[in-house]
A and B are shown apart, each in its own frame.
Chain A
Amino acid sequence: MKQVLALASLLALAACSTDPQTHASDDDIVGGVDASGRAVAAVNGILSFDRAGINQSGCTGTLVSPHLVLTAKHCVLTHDTPNPPTYLEAGGSMEYRLGPSWTHPSKIVRVTKVYQCGLSTGGHVGLGCDVALLRLESDILDIPPLAVSATPLAADQVGTPFTAVGYGVTDAANRPNTSGTRKMASLTLRAVTGPGLHALYPTLVDFGAALDAVEGPGYMMRNRPYYEALYDQPLLEGYEALAGGGPDEAQDCHGDSGGPLLKRVDGKLVIYGVASTVVSGQKQVCENMGTVYATLGPDAHAMIAVAERP
């Protein structure tokens, strides 16, 4: 139930895409830009289908070995029950769609197995460690995988730049047809401990004013219990971080879930987290208030180690 409550208070980022064959938009991660370079070719779309073959969700995942894709745990779960089965367990299927557009993929590789990060309660989406791995049916050998950081995000990285990549919706109204194109954004790491939104808004009044500026006067007060709890919710230490939310920073939204938080280290891109959830609104479905990222601590590395066993 805790999980359900947490989900109700925040908006996770998987997109519903009722028709994956819709054409791609010229728009972006809300405010981002197209990302076509080979350096980010390891970041691709994930579509999940129910047992009737109906597309139920779209997410983003990163190739971390020729046959393993890093994404968010909530992207693999059907959420039909308090202890949800994965799409595979529920008789559905998942696809990893290569290329800048998941509507026109250069290749589709089926997912054969799902690994979930150990901690399963707490945090902003109630799933604890919101990280998962997908095992692919066949190796992808023509795209270099990205490295996973050996160390979790640390306090001394707060204030430094990162890059987000994802396939999420690109407009304020969350229209599914605007998702499905690889976009990227520059984000600043805001917090790794404590209530993440406090790093962006010093007081609840500031937070409310920012909401009202977008949603209209009185919006915060009409929904005060919801947003007040959100404002004070601490990051799950060691498992979550907040990035983005700056005035000139683009904003993750639905479909960007599982997308990597990248940093350039010694001339290579390294993954430090996967997109987990954002602050939701009405007029602006994903408020420009940053993204909670699931970070890659010991639990996530243990999961990766298990998945890499032959």
Chain B
Amino acid sequence: MGRSAVVGARGKSAGSYAADIGLHGARGFTMRILASLVLLGAVACASPSKDVQARDDGLTNGLGPTDAAVGVLFALDGTRTNIVCTATLVDASTLATSRRCAPSLTDAAGRVKPNMYFKLAADLGDPSAKVVAIDAVSSCLESTKCGFAAAHLANPISDVAPIPLAPFGVTANRDQPYSTVGFDPSLRRVTASALVHARYGGSLVVAGGGPNGAHLCVAMDVGAPLLVELDGQAFLLGVASIPHPDALDREVCSAGTPFHTLNASVRQLFGQPIPIAPGPSTVPTAAACGDETEAGRCDGDVAVRCTTAAEGVRRVTRVDCAESLQTCRPPGTASTTVSCGDAP
């Protein structure tokens, strides 16, 4: 699994988002953030506009329990599960993440690789973590104008309130209480303040950093949301774009995180249907097992049972215990289900 994450931030339960965050992550490059911004192209080349006006729209301080819609995109890749990016549920079937994540999710033809998933949990190690397959990804064609990607879930998530795209843009100053959400090294979700202190053109801000500011860094934090709460409703304003996924240098990250922000191109992206829809499941049901039960039975030394719904395709399997010098043990002896073991 890819390492990365928000380091040192307090979990939400701490009740404060004035976190001292630094992220560590992977390995390799140590280029500074200015160089990173240059790589963002025309957007980054624009002069920073720090004289933005404070909003007077009743923003509340910090966020409520709104980070529940933030999770990770992960790939079953090679030897292990690799977290690719952070993503935010913006409606029941759609995720917002960074455009930089799209190449990791799709093949050369733009189709989603068959092993891509979204995991939604406060603790990614939680056995009850919600996991849903990704079946389509779209991103903007013009990278300098839009740093977002939209991912479509194979099955909607209806029991978690999404964080919709904000109907307004970023017009904040240093006093504006924006927030960002990431995952710490123990893979627990944390929320931290991310004050916007620089704006580049109409589609990029730098937020976080500074002595008391939060900042994200590298690897799986790419795609992390920039959030704001208005009248009790959280809105998504941006997604983290971190150009050097192997940055190790804490100082690099403490300069703040560049976030791609909403603009007309982004709204157009999310206003269109994401191509490619999944076909209906044809996985056989328990009826495929006939009279065989999930607990199973012994047929001599052969353990016979019906697979469970969690195992996917329902079918009858047979395991010959004698082939491995064991005997079949009926359900309720060595295990709740039929098993192989030593003779009693």
B is a partner of A: yes
Q: Which residues of A contact B (CB under 8 A)?
A: 7-8, 11-16, 18-19, 22-23, 26-28, 30-40, 50, 52, 54, 56-57, 74-75, 77, 79-80, 125, 161-163, 165, 170-178, 184-186, 212-219, 222-223, 225-226, 247-250, 254, 257, 262-264, 267-269, 280-285, 288
**Contact status of A31 and B315, CB under 8 A, knowing A50-B3, A217-B282:** yes
The listed residue with most A CB atoms (<10 A of its CB), out of B280, B310, B313, B319, is B319
Tell which of B109, B114, B131, B335 touches A280, judged by Cβ atoms closer than 8 Å: B114
Near A by CB (< 8 A), chain B positions 290-344 give 296, 303, 305, 307-308, 310-313, 315-321, 323-327, 329, 334-342
B311 in contact with A170 (CB, 8 Å): yes
Which residues of B are found within 8 Å of A56, using beta-carbon distances?
Answer: 1, 80
A7 in contact with B311 (CB, 8 Å): no
Q: How far is the CA of A247 from the CA of B318 in the complex (A)?
A: 10
Which residues of A are found within 8 Å of B54, using beta-carbon distances?
Answer: none
Tell which of A74, A184, A280 touches B76, judged by Cβ atoms closer than 8 Å: A280
A34 in contact with B339 (CB, 8 Å): yes
What is the CB-to-nearest-CB distance from B173 to chain A, in angstroms, rounded to a whole number?
A: 37
Q: Does B271 contact A (CB under 8 A)?
A: no
A165 in contact with B317 (CB, 8 Å): no
Tell which of B311, B329, B342 touches A30, judged by Cβ atoms closer than 8 Å: B311
Q: How far is the CA of A283 from the CA of B310 in the complex (A)?
A: 11
**Contact status of A282 and B315, CB under 8 A, knowing A34-B339, A38-B342:** no
Q: Nearest chain-B residue to A40 (Cβ)?
A: B324
What is the CB-to-nearest-CB distance from A182 to chain B, in angstroms, rounded to a whole number?
A: 10
Q: Nearest chain-A residue to B154 (Cβ)?
A: A282
* 26 sample A-B contacts, Cβ–Cβ < 8 Å, listed by A number: A8-B113, A18-B1, A33-B338, A34-B337, A35-B324, A37-B325, A38-B342, A39-B324, A56-B80, A57-B79, A163-B320, A170-B311, A174-B81, A178-B310, A186-B323, A215-B281, A216-B281, A216-B282, A249-B318, A254-B76, A264-B325, A267-B325, A282-B133, A282-B135, A284-B283, A285-B76
Q: Nearest chain-B residue to A37 (Cβ)?
A: B326
The listed residue with most A CB atoms (<10 A of its CB), out of B276, B312, B313, is B312
A184 in contact with B3 (CB, 8 Å): no
Q: Does B187 contact A (CB under 8 A)?
A: yes
Closest 4 interchain pairs by CB? A172-B312, A216-B279, A19-B125, A16-B81
A35 in contact with B129 (CB, 8 Å): no
Q: How far is the CA of A31 from the CA of B154 in the complex (A)?
A: 24
B125 in contact with A36 (CB, 8 Å): no
Q: How far is the CA of A23 from the CA of B127 in the complex (A)?
A: 9
B311 in contact with A8 (CB, 8 Å): no
The listed residue with most B CB atoms (<10 A of its CB), out of A8, A11, A37, is A37
**Contact status of A212 and B282, CB under 8 A, knowing A56-B1, A248-B318, A269-B324:** yes
A225 in contact with B334 (CB, 8 Å): no
Q: Does B174 contact A (CB under 8 A)?
A: no
Q: How far is the CA of A27 from the CA of B339 in the complex (A)?
A: 11
Tell which of B305, B310, B317 touches A249, judged by Cβ atoms closer than 8 Å: B317
**Contact status of A18 and B125, CB under 8 A, knowing A171-B312, A223-B114:** yes
Q: How far is the CA of A117 from the CA of B49 in the complex (A)?
A: 58
Q: How far is the CA of A263 from the CA of B320 in the complex (A)?
A: 12
A34 in contact with B335 (CB, 8 Å): yes
Which residues of A are found within 8 Å of B324, using beta-carbon distances?
Answer: 35, 37, 39-40, 163, 165, 184, 262, 264, 269
Instruction: Give the B interface residue count (CB, 8 A).
Output: 68
What is the CB-to-nearest-CB distance from B283 to chain A, in angstroms, rounded to a whole number?
A: 6
Which residues of A are found within 8 Å of B127, using beta-carbon distances?
Answer: 19, 22-23, 175-177
B114 in contact with A74 (CB, 8 Å): no
Which residues of A are found within 8 Å of B334, using beta-carbon distances?
Answer: 34, 36
What is the CB-to-nearest-CB distance from B257 to chain A, in angstroms, rounded to a whole number?
A: 22
Q: Does B185 contact A (CB under 8 A)?
A: yes
Q: Does B115 contact A (CB under 8 A)?
A: yes
Which residues of A are found within 8 Å of B335, using beta-carbon distances?
Answer: 26, 33-34, 36
B312 in contact with A30 (CB, 8 Å): yes
Q: How far is the CA of A267 from the CA of B27 in the complex (A)?
A: 50
A31 in contact with B317 (CB, 8 Å): yes
**Contact status of A18 and B320, CB under 8 A, knowing A79-B80, A254-B76:** no
Q: How far is the CA of A222 from the CA of B185 in the complex (A)?
A: 36
Q: Nearest chain-A residue to B312 (Cβ)?
A: A172
Q: Nearest chain-A residue to B278 (Cβ)?
A: A216
Which residues of A are found within 8 Å of B319, using beta-carbon distances?
Answer: 32-33, 184-186, 250
Which residues of A are found within 8 Å of B76, using beta-carbon distances?
Answer: 11, 174, 254, 280, 285
Q: Nearest chain-B residue to A13 (Cβ)?
A: B79
What is the CB-to-nearest-CB distance from B331 to chain A, in angstroms, rounded to a whole number?
A: 10
Contact with A along B168-193 (1 / 0, CB 8 A): 00000000000000000111000000
Q: How far is the CA of A28 from the CA of B336 in the complex (A)?
A: 12
Q: Nearest chain-B residue to A78 (Cβ)?
A: B79
Tell which of B185, B280, B283, B311 touches A54, judged by Cβ atoms closer than 8 Å: B185
B78 in contact with A79 (CB, 8 Å): yes
What is the CB-to-nearest-CB distance from A303 to chain B, in angstroms, rounded to a whole number?
A: 19
Tell which of A33, A57, A171, A215 touches B303, judged by Cβ atoms closer than 8 Å: A33
Which residues of A are found within 8 Å of B3, using beta-carbon distances?
Answer: 50, 52, 54
B312 in contact with A284 (CB, 8 Å): yes
A37 in contact with B81 (CB, 8 Å): no
Q: How far is the CA of A77 from the CA of B294 in the complex (A)?
A: 37
The listed residue with most B CB atoms (<10 A of its CB), out of A12, A34, A175, is A34
